[in-house]
A and B are shown apart, each in its own frame.
Chain A
Amino acid sequence: QVQLQGSGPTLVKPSETLSLTCTVSGDSIRPYYWSWIRQPPGKGLEWIGYVFTSESPTYNPSLKTRVTISMDTSKSQFSLKLTSVTAADTAVYYCARGHRDMDLWGKGTTVTVSS
């Protein structure tokens, strides 16, 4: 059974970097696209970007100057880094399989930006 498990700090200070990792178990990471999506408290979903082994990552332009998505196939992980965070980046961050129809989602990691 394929599972996605997100991990990383749940509290980040303003102006610092948010770093999350999603570990894929039960299947190979290589054949698939992998995405990050976030959801601020009480709000809707926002697409962040996606990564694939043989392509450059693709990002939402609204975050493009601050976001990096990468993949480590040897560890079956893909990661999200978001720099210079503010309170507006407080959200549940989801990792998911796929980049168009996302058919498998992790449980979500709640990240709060606060001093």
Chain B
Amino acid sequence: EIVLTQSPDFQSVTPKEKVTITCRASQSIGSILHWYQQKPDQSPKLLIKFASQSISGVPSRFSGSGSGTDFTLTINGLEAEDAAAYYCHQTSTLPFTFGPGTKVDIK
């Protein structure tokens, strides 16, 4: 089973700051890695697919990069509405697995 680790676990950020969340896979997964945002008491929402592909309707301040084992989700200019948990998810190898999540709080 591929284990995904995320860092940091938690981040408290001032609005307009840049946020970087990393996801590391225990083995290479190519670019088969997706990012989800989950706000409190809501369902997860797809932010980035296949490591770096943007999703229609998702603000352009969200971007993804990486391949192999190391991936990054970047939020350029955090807004108050971005307070949420962020999860990476690999669908390269069964069983599909999620990272433990990174909680982003607004200062």
- The answer to whether A105 and B101 touch across the interface, beta carbons within 8 angstroms, is no
Residues of A within 8 A of B32 (CB): 100
Question: In the complex the two chains form, what is the Cα distance from A75 to B90 in whole Å?
Answer: 31
Tell me how far the C-beta of A1 lies from the nearest C-beta in chain B, rounded to whole angstroms.
13
Provided the pairs A94-B43, A105-B43 are in contact, do residues A46 and B98 lie with their beta carbons within 8 angstroms?
A: yes
Question: In the complex the two chains form, what is the Cα distance from A44 to B98 in whole Å?
Answer: 8
Contact residue range for chain A?
Answer: 10 to 19
The DSSP consensus for interface residues of chain B is loop
Question: Which B residue's beta carbon lies closest to that of A106?
Answer: B43
Residues of A within 8 A of B96 (CB): 47, 60, 99
Question: In the complex the two chains form, what is the Cα distance from A61 to B96 in whole Å?
Answer: 10
- The answer to whether A45 and B87 touch across the interface, beta carbons within 8 angstroms, is yes
Tell me how far the C-beta of A107 lies from the nearest C-beta in chain B, rounded to whole angstroms.
6
| Residues 23-75 of A at the B interface (beta carbon under 8 Å) | 37, 44-47, 58, 60-62
Query: Which A residues contact B (CB, under 8 angstroms)?
Result: 37, 44-47, 58, 60-62, 94, 99-103, 105-108
Query: Which B residues contact A (CB, under 8 angstroms)?
Result: 32, 34, 36, 38, 43-46, 49-50, 55, 87, 89, 91, 94-101
